[in-house]
Amino acid sequence: MPLLLLLTLTGVSSGLICLWGRSLEQTCVYKRRGATAVSIINLTSFVQGRPPSKKTVVLNKKKPNPPPPSGNCLIHMKDFNTVHVSSSTITCTIAGFDWGTYLNRETSLGASVSCFQHAPLWDQWDNVTVGTKVEVLNTNAVLPSKVYWIATIIQIAGYKALLRYEGFEHDSSHDFWCSLVSGELHPIGWCAMTTKLLVPPQDVKTNIVDWKEYLMQKLVGANTIPVDFYLKLSECMKCPFRSGMRVEVVDPKHISRTRIATVTATHAGRLHLVYADQRDALENTTADFWCHKSSPLLHPIGWSKNVGHPIKPPGTSGQCLGIAYESEWPQMFNRSTGMKLEAIDPLNLGSICVATVQKVLLDGYLMVGIDGSVLADGSDWFCYHASSHAILPIGFCEKNGIPLKVPHGYDSRTFSWPEYLKEKKAKAAPAHLFNYEYPGHSFTQNMKLEAADLMQPSLVCVATVKRAVGRLLLIHFDGWEDEFDQWVDCHSPDIYPIGWCELAMLQLQPPPGLGKPYLMYFYGSCTQTTLPYVSNAKICIFTVDLTEQSRAKKPKLTFGAKKSKL
């Protein structure tokens, strides 16, 4: 949204200077108590019928946690930044994992939101660029009420942006990170529409005499975020799944079959599923599963029956229902049972193994088994669609310098596909049947992102793109050994931009050693506690009754923290 401020002076009255421009922006400068407040009204939006902020939807509302019982309290929380004790109130800033600090330390780039076709606003993200101007809360002002100021986007990492207040020029000491989808950033003109004051930061060292002239120079030809930015975000956050819907999903304990589950919660397209049959759940636990709404592991009710895939019906002791026939799929893999290929091991997603097509189902689905580990009952077969990134033609690993995991009893250094095929009297699946070439994505090595641990899909972790091979990405979980790496497709719904967990209100798992829990001790009667901690920094206030301690000469209220191995 360009701002073309070609302005001419029209009048001066009572300390109020108003200017009009050809693009229908109005700039008003107010002098109040020695401070200057600048308000820019964007009238273009009214001409287009889109008043800024009027349709903005408040996202991520979260119910506050209930206060703990009165009495001495011991509270677990993430590492805290600052502590302030005043009267009977203890206020502390609790910091979760800080993406900004981590990115600065790692000197790594965050993958763009436009890389993730399942992420909210992915198809519009190229409109958010470095140099974009926004209005944001001014945290560098000492005033009794909230005031705002104009800032420029210096760097973008996923949904996060590094901002610099106007006036600091080349001074980066006051730069700060903010989520672009938090609702805290606003288009130019928002303050005027909501009667908020624009006040320059108090620590600006540049000797700027005329803020009006300074801002006019900075805003000419600049861009701002669209006035309907958050409205579009709200539309993108809608999910077709609702609590109570039933689906079929893979059974992690028996990967060759599916089972019925019920949707219990949705988070920005990510679903929490509880299995209908809880007989195999551990005592005092609930058998559940997490996946994205577009996950290949998720299917509508009736899918297993339609394609001939085994399914565990509710209320059974483990018997699978399925259709005991194989169906031809004339377009691809016709009569391909027994053909050899390379496949990602579903039980060790960092390995690509020698594999065999064990069965052909309907609609292009295949049951694939890893050679050397196939059980007699086929319970370790895994269902892949013929277009899946996880099945590859023979020789793929050798061509791309990827270690191939060979069957037990073979040496990977001397393994030869021609000899193996001859020994097994098998054929290789033709290379043209596979969908493994996809050079069009924008992922590059060392990009940072957030990724679900597919071996424990309830966890979304800080991660890095370790390799990009065609459409395949090798995801490394920061702080963990390489053996936990996982191969995923570039369009996988299990990888997300930086800041996605904060948007989805899910806990982001930091690398080991970062964001470790602490124990915080309060001695006294805790009458009220608010702990709205999700994954970003929050303010928590603890009110402690000091009546008993105040009778003594030296109150025994103590405050401290120490690391815990929780």
Which strands form 25-32's sheet, in the order they lie side by side?
7-13, 16-21, 25-32, 35-42
pLDDT tens-digit readout, 478-491: 999 999 999 999 99
Question: How large is the average pLDDT for residues 59-88?
Answer: 38
pLDDT, greater one: 231 or 375: 231
Among 180-184, 378-382, 411-415, 562-566, the minimum mean pLDDT is found in 562-566
Q: H/E element holding 176?
A: strand 176-179
Q: How confident is the model at residue 84 (pLDDT cuts 50, 70, 90)?
A: very low
Give per-residue pLDDT as tens, 203-258.
Answer: 887 778 888 889 988 998 899 999 999 999 999 999 999 999 999 999 988 999 99
**Exposure pattern of 407-436 as b/e (b: 16+ CB <10 Å)?**
beebeeeeeebeebeeeeeeebbeeebbbb
Apex 159 CA angle, 157 and 161, nearest 5: 55
Bridge partners for 526 per DSSP: 544
Task: Quote the pLDDT of residue 315.
Answer: 59
Residue 540 confidence (pLDDT): 42
The predicted structure's pLDDT at residue 432: 83
Please tell me the predicted confidence (pLDDT) of residue 280. 83
* Three-state DSSP state, 305: helix
Residue 13 pLDDT > 70: no
pLDDT bucket at 337, cuts 50 / 70 / 90: confident
Lowest mean per-residue pLDDT among 68-72, 166-170, 421-425? 68-72
Quick one: average pLDDT of 418-440? 86
Q: Cα–Cα distance between 158 and 344 in angstroms, integer? A: 28
DSSP single-letter state for residue 198 = B
Q: How many helices (H) and strands (E) does the chain have?
A: 10, 36
Looking at per-residue pLDDT, the higher value among 38 and 533 belongs to: 38
Listed in order, strand segments (DSSP E) in 470-537 are 472-477, 486-489, 495-496, 508-509, 517-522, 525-529
Q: What is the pLDDT of residue 209?
A: 84
Pairing of strands 311-312, 258-267: parallel
Find out whether 269 and 116 touch, Cβ atoms under 8 Å: no
Q: What is the mean pLDDT of the chain?
A: 75
CA distances from 144 to 139, 147, 197 (A): 12, 9, 12
State the pLDDT at residue 96: 63
pLDDT tens profile 276-309: 998 888 888 889 999 999 999 999 999 999 999 9
Euclidean distance between CA atoms 268 and 519, whole angstroms: 32
